[in-house]
Amino acid sequence: MKRFIDVFLSLLLFIILFPIMVIVAMIVLVKMGKPVLFTQQRPGLHGKPFYLIKFRTMKNSVDKNGVLLSDEERLTATGRFLRKFSLDELPQLLNVIRGDMSLVGPRPLLMEYLPLYSEDQFTRHHVRPGITGWAQINGRNAIRWEEKFEMDAWYVKNHSLLVDIKILFITVKKVFKKEGVTQRNHATMEKFTGSKGVS
């Protein structure tokens, strides 16, 4: 049932929001140039990698040694606007349609985090990652990693159709209120380096 709803709603939303995605793509092209889309390998169900699709929000600026600059330095004004209203996430509807993701689930993070998880934290990969999730409506990037993972584990143990519907409705409200987009003192969220005292 969850997969059927994911595909049905994602196809419907993709059709409805397609004109907006075209406009966003044109804005990104004019303001930041090519490529318009950002793709990155992320861990999905059971940690299996897939390629996440988003609208690009950062420049590819590097220092004199060829190392990417910080998120703060690369995030553009256009990118900040897209992130405030989660417009950069819209292409992930294609990830849902393909079966890489679900509309609701733990957010797909970086591949490099996989060996850093505790056994309980890794349970977030027992379900498909989502465009939105329990942690997203309870703080998004404004909460600590440990809190985020605790919420992800809660969702894995308690997810249901009613929980998913609740998350989707609250997500719409949160997007318009622009809550929890960034972490204090960070343009996005600081990197996860492992939980202290957790193995």
Residue-level pLDDT, tens digit, the chain, 199 residues: 899 999 999 999 999 999 999 999 999 999 988 999 999 999 999 999 999 999 999 887 777 777 777 778 888 899 999 988 889 999 999 999 999 999 999 999 999 999 999 999 999 999 999 999 999 888 776 788 999 999 999 999 999 999 999 999 998 888 777 665 444 444 556 788 887 655 4
Residue 42 lies in a domain: yes
Residue 147: domain span? 2-177
Query: How many domains is the chain built from?
Result: 1
- Joined together, the tokens standing for residue 15 give 């059709």
Q: Which residues contact 85 (CB under 8 A, 6 or more apart)?
A: 175, 176, 178
Residue 124 lies in a domain: yes
CA 64 to chain centre: 30
CA separation for the pair 148, 49 (Å, rounded): 21
**Is the alpha carbon torsion for 198, 110, 115, 155 positive or negative?**
positive
For residue 140, is it within any domain? yes
**Residue 185 resides in a domain:** no
Q: Is 88 inside any structural domain?
A: yes
* Helix and strand element counts for the chain (H, E): 7, 4
Give me the helix-helix angle, 2-32 and 77-84, nearest 10°.
Answer: 160
Residue 65 is assigned to a structural domain of this protein: yes
Quote the pLDDT of residue 185. 45
Position 180 scores a pLDDT of 52
The token duo for 98 is: 């393909």
Q: What is the pLDDT of residue 198?
A: 56
Answer whether residue 86 is part of any domain: yes
- The answer to whether position 110 is within a domain reads yes
